[in-house]
Structure 1
């Protein structure tokens, strides 16, 4: 499937307005620990500034077109705001191919940021072979990553299960969804709204 960026960008902006009633939700007073676990799971490498003062956690699937658009907006934000810490919460709701892509990205070691960027900017449908090609171009030693999955997969699958449990607890209906400074947004957001949410998190 070809990913049409210009059309889907309009869809993202329209959806952001149309779903405004869903977000932001207030912080959850009874599950503060869970909010902390969402933003600071030690098994997920942080993008942006790992020591940033505001964390954005995004529930994503590497085959979700709107997730890809949100990632473009997040990259704009990270380029201008060096105090933001970004955590990608892999929630592979589109099946085994998405789960494989998540496992491989999380097995990429030091190439994790490049792996995420490559998978998120991919404009074609995924397969295991296509995922390997994308990650190979991004600098990942695919053969070593595949071989290491025999040892890493239980821990990675435990992480994916945690993400799924959190998404279920938050009653998410799909990807993307963002947690910004302890507030939940059940939708994609253009960069202007991301800036506003980060500013509110800092002020709060």
Structure 2
């Protein structure tokens, strides 16, 4: 599976199709609950962990459109202290993406998860295991400790990635990124203005 073909101009200006999750959850027993999507205890929350609006993003660290979406999300976090951001790793670009996702999640034990996500999402080009290690090390992350955490928590992290993939399948997502904002599913990235609108609707 690949990212949907959206260039930067279309990403920032195009209309966004949305699907209301509450309606889906009421009519399809196979759909994940909002707690499963937005409050998985295995995923550290970025932004404000006690925020009043949760944004969950299905993401691959090698997806170029995900990187554009992350830029817009960072702008939102900088201006809105009430946002809780949950990164739902869905490594659809293969083993390198899966390794990056697992290493990022393994940094949560040392309190460096936000640094890892930011470093990987802002890195240009394709990833490999070696390049992921370099990116994380350059961000000040202890690779030996992270690998030890991954060895200890590997089964749990693998199970988390399976949960994320199952949710993406239930939502019939075709690629990354996809966002859930306060109970609504958006099937690709949102510009800052679109994020503001979605958050405002969630609060109302």
Distance 2:177 2:164 in 1: 13
Name the counterpart of 2:130: 129
Q: Which runs of 4+ in 1 moved over 4 A?
A: none
Name the counterpart of 1:34: 33
- Range moving further from structure 2, 29-38 or 101-110: 29-38
Distance 1:58 1:147 in 2: 27
Give 1:82 deviation, angstroms. 0.2
For the 8 Å contact 2:32–2:170, the answer to whether it is kept is no
Distance 2:157 2:38 in 1: 17
For the 8 Å contact 2:20–2:183, the answer to whether it is kept is no
Aligned length: 193
Give 1:92 deviation, angstroms. 0.3
Name the counterpart of 2:62: 63
TM-score, with normalisation over the residues of structure 1?
A: 0.90
Please report the RMSD computed on the Cα atoms of aligned residues, expressed in angstroms: 1.6
For 1:15-164, list aligned pairs within 5 A.
16-17=14-15, 20=16, 22-25=17-20, 27=22, 28=24, 29-30=26-27, 34-109=33-108, 110-164=111-165
Distance 2:7 2:172 in 1: 25
Give 1:8 deviation, angstroms. 4.3
Query: Could you list the runs of 5+ residues in structure 2 that have no partner in the other structure?
Result: 1-5
For the 8 Å contact 2:43–2:87, the answer to whether it is kept is yes
- Per-residue CA deviations over 1:58-106 (Å, capped at 9, x if unaligned) read 0000000000000000000000000010000000000010000000000
Name the counterpart of 1:4: none
TM-score, with normalisation over the residues of structure 2?
A: 0.90
For the 8 Å contact 1:8–1:65, the answer to whether it is kept is no
Name the counterpart of 1:3: none
Name the counterpart of 1:191: 192
